[in-house]
Amino acid sequence: MRSFAASKARDLVLPASSLISDISCSDVPCNSACYGLGRPLQSRHLGSRYLLHKMKIVKITIIAFLLFINTSIWATPRPIPDPPSLDADSYFLMDFDSGQVLAEKNPDQRIEPASITKLMTAYLVDRAIADGDLKLDELVTISEKAWRMKGSKMFVEVGKKITVRDLMRGLIIQSGNDASVALAEHIAGTESAFAGYMNHQAEVLGLTNTRFENATGWPTKGHYSTARDIAILTQAVIQEFPETYRIYKEREYTFNSIRQYNRNRLLWRDNTVDGVKTGHTEAAGYCLVASAIRNNMRLISVILGAESDKSRTQSSLSLLNYGYRYFETHRLYRANEVLKTARIWYGDQEQIAMGVESDIYITIPRGRYRDLQASMEIDSEINAPVAQGQEMGVVNVKLDDKIVVNESIVATHAVDDGGLWIKTLDSIKLMFK
């Protein structure tokens, strides 16, 4: 096993003893009792030079002691307290990049997602646009069903033609049920058919405890999700459609001369929050999925079943603050970054480069980055041909002897067969290796 680590992880703090190791007896007068060198104490050493020497020794000793105490304190991992006690039936806190769960309560408890459902509705609209099946400037005719929808509205009028762009803002900022139904009908023909698309996409994303019956979140039997699934869906929304995600931080939208404000109060309370969606029904209570980014670290929080609008806002903020106060996220390796080169036999090249297929992030307790230890395991003998992306080994990262990252190492390029002559030469070389 070959040991390696990210460069920053190797910048270890020098021990306090190194600060005094460069001082020798030839630099200053001393006595035999002080350094054990067997030289007699001479009278000329007494006086100002001797006192100066003693003062330097005392000063160095004090500095070394203080540094020792300081490093000893910080060398002991600080315990992470339990998450705050929140007024919610369930909650979930996750790092966006690493996917690491930082706090949870009843994360897989099924609950009505209410208008948070519209995250999937918007996601499928974006998917249709990405696939070339829909355009932002495309006109949507408002049906009577969409116009008659109760609850939060964009206030579209039956028979009018509205662009997909405007309907998306009405869906995201104003949480318009009418906009949701109009878009669902335009894409799938009926809202029921669109719910089928929603459930298919839920399976693709790995939302194992989610089922949709409509595009709005209107209370319906068999329509449910969980805090964990909502966080995963939110991660996909932010990652795959960043242009649309920018809409989620807009505080207001005016349509048909009616100005409405975003119901996510965190957009006014914390400028690091840039989304995402609220929801409320009698059964679901007050719900809020939020996301913030501080110092390049993005977190996603989900609060379900709070007692009030104020409570879901404060609980979300408390959960986010907890995550940022006690955790930090680092990118350990970049996709296709060369982590290792090795000899390859019988190929048209003698060296093969290896790395990871995607960026590797890790979320750890704050202040523990320098404690990470990484190692790589690869095959002792690598023979051509090798395809690009072929697995060559694994990289493990440990913290306190616990593996926190285990990722495959792959070939960053292909190596083809070297032909008969190369194979003959390499066979001979291997005989004497």
Annotated active-site residue 358? The verdict is: no
Check 90, 98, 152, 175 and give the catalytic one: 175
Contacts of 87 (CB under 8 A, 6+ apart): 306, 307, 311, 315
Euclidean distance between CA atoms 138 and 23, whole angstroms: 78
**Does residue 21 sit in helix, strand or coil?**
coil
Whether 289 and 231 have beta carbons less than 8 Å apart is answered as: yes
**Does residue 119 sit in helix, strand or coil?**
helix
Check 118, 153, 249, 277 and give the catalytic one: 118
Q: What are phi and psi of 91, to 5 degrees?
A: -150, 165
Annotated active-site residue 115? The verdict is: yes
**Does residue 155 sit in helix, strand or coil?**
coil
> The sheet that has 285-294: what strands, in order across it?
101-105, 90-95, 297-306, 285-294, 273-281
Annotated active-site residue 48? The verdict is: no
* Angle, vertex CA 140, rays to CA 135 and CA 142, nearest 5: 160
Tokens of 296: 């390049």
Euclidean distance between CA atoms 311 and 137, whole angstroms: 39
Euclidean distance between CA atoms 230 and 125, whole angstroms: 17
Whether 121 and 180 have beta carbons less than 8 Å apart is answered as: yes
Whether 244 and 271 have beta carbons less than 8 Å apart is answered as: no
Q: How many CB atoms lie within 10 A of CB 270?
A: 17
Check 90, 98, 105, 115 and give the catalytic one: 115
Residue labelled with tokens 């996220």: 329
Q: Which residues are catalytic?
A: 115, 118, 175
